[in-house]
Amino acid sequence: TLPKIAWIGLGIMGSPMAENLIKAGYQVTGFTLEQAKLDRLAAAGGAAAGSIAEAVKDADVVITMVPASPQVEAIAYGDEGILAHARPGTLLIDMSSITPQTSVDLAENAADKGIRVLDAPVSGGEAGAVEAVLSIMVGGERADFDEAKPIFDALGKTIVLCGPHGSGQTVKAANQLIVAVNIQACAEAVVFLEKSGVDLTAALDVLNGGLAGSTVLTRKKDNFLKREFAPGFRIDLHHKDMGIVTDAARNVGAALPVGAVVAQLVASLRTQGDGGLDHSALLRGVERLSGE
């Protein structure tokens, strides 16, 4: 029989991911802060719990998908949290993007309670979550990875054990660096092309066929063309991730000169009130710098 799953955090990513597990036949009990998202889970065939404690008490596997390290810590360590209420032997899979050190500490603290942990952040955005084609970068023990693999298969397409606890988060941090720099480069190209009077649709099509092509250019093309910036992936969350990669790189003595500049550009969008927009709104920043 399939393991019973508790899912904590039903946001832009968590809702469609939990629904994919239900479609794959898993029994999913969820908890999140918005009642509408709990109703959505129940409508999809899951069970809505009234608290984290209630969601996790009978679970074999607990999955968390919340914004950042402070939420993961609150959910794990709180009086009503996972470590206090999950059964010994439970596998806790944190799929949020958080600092690698938080994942390492969580694995250590959970082990005291007989709870095993994997860090398993994802890439592929809302579309990747809906279509179950996420890249899943995992840190932890091989045996726990093997046990979780059927669950990951229902959520994603490229699933890789990267190394010990925290490794998944380190790879995700690199992912976020590459994505931000890529979006910024695409945004600069878009403004340059438009000011030059070149047809943008034609230009992006041919660029995508060459070495400049990328998943960012494919997935964000319509955002750029239509100036459509509903999230998707919020600037606020990418700001968090640029902080994670900047700190982690400094800790190991890796230079991120371009990453540091793009981190500043992401931060400046927030101070200008655009933190709730999709990260493709880096285009707005380039337009402002270009006098538009």
Which residues from 204-233 bind ligand NAD, rule CB under 6 A?
A: 232-233
Angle at 164 between CA 162 and CA 170, to 5 degrees: 60
Distance, in Å, from the CA atom of 242 to the CA atom of 119, rounded to the nearest integer, reads 18
Closest CB 289 distance from ligand NAD, rounded Å: 25
Residue with token string 């890796």: 254
How far is the C-alpha of 173 from the C-alpha of 292, rounded, in Å?
Answer: 32
Catalytic residue status for 57:
no
CB of 246 to ligand NAD, least distance (A): 15
Quick note: the x/- pattern for ligand NAD over 17-56, rule CB under 6 A, is: --------------xxxx--x-------------------
Taking the C-alpha atoms of residue 71 and residue 37, their distance in angstroms, rounded to an integer, is 18
C-beta of 194 vs 228, nearer to ligand NAD: 228
Q: Examine residue 152 and tell whether it contacts ligand NAD (CB under 6 A).
A: no
User: Closest by alpha carbon to 123, among 104, 136, 140?
Assistant: 136
Would you count residue 16 as binding ligand NAD (CB under 6 A)? no
The values of phi and psi at residue 256, to 5°, are -130, 60
Position 248 contacts ligand NAD (CB under 6 A): no
Closest CA to 131 of 152, 97, 157: 157
123, 175 Cβ separation under 8 angstroms: yes
3-class DSSP assignment, residue 151: helix
CB closer to ligand NAD, 39 vs 292: 39
Q: Identify any residues that bridge with 138 across adjacent strands, giving them in sequence order.
A: 161
Instruction: Tell me if 140 contacts ligand NAD by CB under 6 A.
Output: no
The stretches of 24-118 forming alpha helices (DSSP H) are 35-43, 52-56, 69-77, 82-85, 100-111
Taking the least distance from each CB to ligand NAD, the nearer of 119 and 191 is: 119
- State the minimum distance, in angstroms, from the CB of residue 9 to ligand NAD: 3
On whether the CB atoms of residues 4 and 61 are closer than 8 A, the answer is: yes
Min dist CB 241 to ligand NAD, Å, is 6
Q: Name the catalytic one among 23, 37, 172, 195.
A: 172
Q: Does 170 participate in binding ligand NAD (rule CB under 6 A)?
A: no
Burial category of 108 from C-beta neighbours within 10 Å (exposed 0-12, middle 13-18, buried 19 and up): exposed
Residues from 262 through 281 that contact ligand NAD (CB under 6 A): none
Sign of the torsion angle spanned by Cα atoms 197, 265, 134, 125: negative
| 8 scored as a contact of ligand NAD (CB under 6 A) | yes
Tokens, residue 146: 């093997």
| Binders in 63-122 for ligand NAD, by CB under 6 A | 65-68, 71, 74-75, 96-97, 122
User: Least distance from C-beta 256 to ligand NAD, angstroms?
Assistant: 19
Stretch that binds ligand NAD, among 3-11, 140-148, 198-206, 253-261 (CB under 6 A): 3-11
Task: Please name the residue that has the structure tokens 């890529």.
Answer: 182
Token pair in block for residue 145: 């990875």
Q: Does 180 bind ligand NAD (CB under 6 A)?
A: no
Q: How far is the CB of 278 from ligand NAD (least distance, A)?
A: 9
Query: Which residues contribute to the site for ligand NAD (CB under 6 A)?
Result: 8-14, 31-34, 37, 65-68, 71, 74-75, 96-97, 122-123, 125-126, 232-233, 237
Which residues are catalytically annotated?
Answer: 172
